[in-house]
Structure 1
C-alpha cells in the first residue's frame, strides 16, 4: 500500500509558506460558488441569448460539465499537494519554469482584468439610484473597501465572501421558485401558466445552430471563470483534503441548478429575442410577479455580486504574486507578509493596477465591461487548458498502485482531458465569429508574447532551476 504522504510535491519555497490557515469548510463552500456567480448570470444572459437562443441552456450545461472536469483534475493534484501556488506551482514540475512564469502572471492578469469588470459593474448599477453620478466614483469607492477587507485578515475575507455569496444564492433560489410559479401556475400572468413552449416556439430550440452555441460559450467561460479559485484556497484551508473534495463535489450541482435552471426559467417566461440588453432578466421576472421594489432589490444584489467577485479577485491576485515571488519569478518584496499574515504588498500592487479600470470607466463607461470580459475569457482558457495538461502529465507518471490509492482521482481520464481540449477550440471559434469578443483574441498574443520576452530578457527562473519541485513517490512494499 502507499503511505499517507506518498504523493508529495516539495520545493524550497514551500517551507516559506506562512499563510494563515483560517479558511473553514463553510468559507470554501461559499467561495467556490460565489466566485462563479457574478454579473455574467444576472446581466450577461440577455446578451448571450441573442447569440444562441434557447440553446443557451445547452451551452451552460456543456460548460458546466467541462468546468467539473477541470475542477476534478485540479482536485486530484491539489488534494495530494495543497499549496497556495496551486496550478502555477505544479506547472513548474510538469512544464518547466517558463510555463510556470507565464501561468502565474497570466492568472494574476486574468483576475486583475476580472476585477476591472466588477468595479465597472458597480459603477454602472450605482447609476440606478444616482443617475448623475460619474461611473468611476462608486468604482473607486468599492475598490477601496475591498482593499481594506483583504488587508485585514484572510478570516475577514472569508466572512465577507461567505455572506455576500449567500445573498446571491438566496436571490437565485427565490427567482427559481417565483419563475416556476409563473410557468406552472400563472403567477403574475392572470393565472395563465406560461409553460415551457418559448424554449422551442421561436424558431426552434437552436435557431442559430451550433455556431450560435459556440458564440455563447464565450459568455459561459466568462461566467464560470474563477471556479478554479478553489485550488488557491488550499494553501489557507484548515483541512484542505476534506474542504476541497466537498467544495468540488457540491459546486458542480449547484452551478448546474443556478445557471442552467435560471436559463430554463428565464427563457421559458420571456422569448429570447425580447430580452433587452442592459436590463437584468431577474428584474423582469420579479416585476412581472408584482414584487415591490424588484428593480432596487436586484440592483443591490448585482452590486453585491460584483463586490463579492472583486473581493475574490483581490484575494487571488495577492496569493498569486506571493507564490511568484517565492519562486523567484516576481520581485522579492511581494513575498513579504504583513503582521496579519496576508500578502499585503501583492494586494496593494493589484489594487493599484485596478485603478486602470477606474480610469477606463471614466473614458469608456459604456464599453469597458464587455471588452474586459472578453480578455478575461482568454486568460481563463489558458488556465483551464493547463490544469487539464498538468493532471494528464501527473497521472501518466504514476504506476497502477499509486493510481489506485489516489485520494480524489478525476473520472474518465484521459477522455475528459480530450473533451476539454475540444471545448477550448469551440470557444476560440466562437470568439472569432463575434465582433465584441475579438478584442480578447487581439490582446492575448501581445500579452503572452510580452511575458515570453520578459522571461528571456531577465532569464527568470533559469538561475533558480535547482529550486524546482521534486516529485516524490514513496511506495511501501506490499507484505509477502
Structure 2
C-alpha cells in the first residue's frame, strides 16, 4: 500500500463496543480452550492423575501474571495492550518484540486450533479430507473478524456459554455416575478411588509430573486476552478486576474439577491420548448422544479459541502499525472500527494449517508440535508482563501506592513467576515431543532482532520517533467517572 493511499485514509480508532458481560465471558472463554478439550488426553497419558496438581500450580502462577497485568493496565487507561506497557516500561525495542511475538504466537495458536477442528470434524466422518474443514474454518474466522467488535463480543459470549454448560453438564453427569457406582461396558466402576488405584496419584513418578507442565501451559494460553479486550470495553476499571479475580474459581471448576471427574469415571490409563477425554468418557459410559453433543461443543470451543486468537493478533498488529513498527496500512480501520487490513493479513497465515496436516503422522502429532512452539513463545509474552511490572513498581511507586487493584505480595510474586518460567523452559527441553519446537524458537527471536534493527534505522533516517508515546494526561473514561 502506498504512502499516498494511507494519507488519504488516516488511521482511526477502534471502538469501545464490549460490555461487562462480554468481557466476563471472554475471560472465561479464554481460560477454556483447545488445550483442555484436546490436549488433556495427551497430558493424562503422560502425567496420570497428577495432571490435577499440574493445573493447580500453573493456575496459581497464571493468576499472578494476570493480577500484574491488571494493575499495569489500570495504572494508565491509555495502555491498549501489554505491548504498550512493554514499550513504556522497557523501551521501544520491547514493544516491537513483545507485540510481534504475541501476534506470531496467536497465529501459531490459531493454526493449532484449526488442526484440532479437523480432528473433531473427522470424529463425525473420518472420510472427510482433512484440508476441507481446515479451509472452511480459516475462511469462517476471516469473516467473523471482519465484523464490529460488538459482534465479536456477542459471538464469544455465546461460545463461552456453550463451553460452560457443556463442562458443568459433564461434571454433573460424572458425579451422578460416581455416586451410583456406574459400571461401564469395559467393566470399570465409576469411583473416586480410580484416581489413586491405578498406580497412585503419581503413576509416572516425578518425570511424568514434570512433563505434564509442557502442554499444560498451552491450555492456559488465552487468559491474557482479557487484557487486550479491555481496551475496547466500556468500563475497564469495574469490569477488568472482576474478570481477573474469577480466574482461580474457573481453573478449579473447569480444569481440576472436570479432569478429576473424567478420571473417576474412566481410569486414567484407559483414556486414549489421541482423543478428547471429554467425548471418550461419555462414549465409554454409554452416553452416545451426550458424547455427540459434547463433540459439537468441543468443535465450537476450538472455533471460539481461534476466533479470539485472531482478534487478539489483529489488535496487536494494529498497535504495531500505529507505533511505526508495521506497515502503516495495518493501522487503518473501516467505518465500523475494525482494523480490516490487519485482519486480512493475519488470516492469510491460518491457511498454513493445511500443509501441516500432511506433514505429521497424525493430527495430534501436528497439534503437539504447534502447541509446543506456541507455549515457548507465550513464556516470552508472559515474562514481558512480569518484568514490566517489576520496572513499573520501582519507577512509579506512587502509581502502585494509589492502585485499587494491587498485585498481592508484589515484591516477591513476579520473581517467583520468572523462576517458574525457567522450570517450564526446562520441561519443554526435556520432553522429546517439545524439544524440537523449543529449540526452533530462538530462530524467531533472531529474525525479530534483525527486523528491529532494520526498522529502527529506517525510523531514524526518516526522523520519526522509535515508537509512539503513551499519553500521561487523564483518560476520558476517568473524567467521565
Corresponding position: 1:94 with 2:92: no
- State whether residues 12 and 333 of structure 2, in contact with CA within 8 Å, keep that contact through their aligned partners in structure 1: no
Q: Secondary structure at the match of 2:77?
A: coil
Q: Secondary structure at the match of 2:123?
A: coil
In 2, Cα distance between equivalents of 1:110 and 1:82: 25
Paired residues for 1:270-419 under 5 Å? 270-364=266-360, 366=363, 367-399=365-397, 402-419=399-416
In 2, Cα distance between equivalents of 1:127 and 1:28: 32
Cα deviation for residue 22 of structure 1 reads 0.5
Partner of 2:57: 62
Cα deviation for residue 390 of structure 1 reads 0.9
In 1, Cα distance between equivalents of 2:83 and 2:12: 15
Q: For structure 1, which segment, 432-441 or 63-72, has the greater mean C-alpha deviation from structure 2 after superposition?
A: 432-441
- State whether residues 163 and 297 of structure 2, in contact with CA within 8 Å, keep that contact through their aligned partners in structure 1: yes
Q: Secondary structure at the match of 2:16?
A: coil
How big is each residue's C-alpha offset from its partner over 1:295-326, in whole Å with a ceiling of 9 and x where there is no partner? Answer: 32222112101100111011111100000001
Cα deviation for residue 188 of structure 1 reads 5.1
In 2, Cα distance between equivalents of 1:451 and 1:354: 20
Q: TM-score, normalising length from structure 2?
A: 0.90
How big is each residue's C-alpha offset from its partner over 1:51-95, in whole Å with a ceiling of 9 and x where there is no partner? Answer: 222111000000111111011000001123235641111111221
Cα deviation for residue 178 of structure 1 reads 1.1
In 1, Cα distance between equivalents of 2:11 and 2:236: 18
Partner of 2:479: none
Cα deviation for residue 374 of structure 1 reads 0.5
Partner of 1:10: none
In 2, Cα distance between equivalents of 1:332 and 1:402: 33
Count of matched residue pairs: 459
1:166–1:466 distance in 2 versus 1, CA, 3 Å: closer
- State whether residues 11 and 331 of structure 2, in contact with CA within 8 Å, keep that contact through their aligned partners in structure 1: no
In 1, Cα distance between equivalents of 2:263 and 2:77: 41
Cα deviation for residue 404 of structure 1 reads 3.2
- State whether residues 214 and 426 of structure 1, in contact with CA within 8 Å, keep that contact through their aligned partners in structure 2: no
Cα deviation for residue 466 of structure 1 reads 7.1
In 2, Cα distance between equivalents of 1:325 and 1:202: 54
Partner of 2:210: 214
1:153–1:28 distance in 2 versus 1, CA, 3 Å: same
1:290–1:130 distance in 2 versus 1, CA, 3 Å: closer
Corresponding position: 1:179 with 2:174: yes
In 2, Cα distance between equivalents of 1:92 and 1:466: 8
Partner of 1:118: 113
Q: TM-score, normalising length from structure 1?
A: 0.90
Q: Secondary structure at the match of 1:226?
A: coil
1:83–1:303 distance in 2 versus 1, CA, 3 Å: farther
Q: For structure 1, which segment, 57-66 or 80-89, has the greater mean C-alpha deviation from structure 2 after superposition?
A: 80-89
Q: For structure 1, which segment, 180-189 or 464-473, has the greater mean C-alpha deviation from structure 2 after superposition?
A: 464-473
2:421 paired residue among 420, 424, 438: 424
1:239–1:470 distance in 2 versus 1, CA, 3 Å: closer
Partner of 1:259: 255
In 2, Cα distance between equivalents of 1:90 and 1:394: 9
Cα deviation for residue 289 of structure 1 reads 4.1
Q: For structure 1, which segment, 107-116 or 17-26, has the greater mean C-alpha deviation from structure 2 after superposition?
A: 17-26
1:162 paired residue among 157, 162, 167: 157
Q: For structure 1, which segment, 80-89 or 430-439, has the greater mean C-alpha deviation from structure 2 after superposition?
A: 80-89
Q: Secondary structure at the match of 2:146?
A: helix
1:42 paired residue among 11, 34, 37: 37
| Runs of at least 5 residues in structure 1 that lack an aligned partner in the other structure | 1-14, 474-480
Cα deviation for residue 438 of structure 1 reads 1.3
- State whether residues 84 and 234 of structure 1, in contact with CA within 8 Å, keep that contact through their aligned partners in structure 2: no
1:45–1:469 distance in 2 versus 1, CA, 3 Å: same
In 1, Cα distance between equivalents of 2:368 and 2:178: 32
- State whether residues 211 and 430 of structure 1, in contact with CA within 8 Å, keep that contact through their aligned partners in structure 2: no
In 2, Cα distance between equivalents of 1:241 and 1:17: 24
- State whether residues 56 and 256 of structure 2, in contact with CA within 8 Å, keep that contact through their aligned partners in structure 1: yes
In 2, Cα distance between equivalents of 1:66 and 1:457: 36
Partner of 2:77: 82
Cα deviation for residue 39 of structure 1 reads 2.1
- State whether residues 32 and 230 of structure 1, in contact with CA within 8 Å, keep that contact through their aligned partners in structure 2: yes
Q: For structure 1, which segment, 266-275 or 175-184, has the greater mean C-alpha deviation from structure 2 after superposition?
A: 266-275
Corresponding position: 1:245 with 2:241: yes
1:412–1:472 distance in 2 versus 1, CA, 3 Å: farther
In 1, Cα distance between equivalents of 2:289 and 2:41: 21
How big is each residue's C-alpha offset from its partner over 1:213-243, in whole Å with a ceiling of 9 and x where there is no partner? Answer: 2211111110001110111012100111111
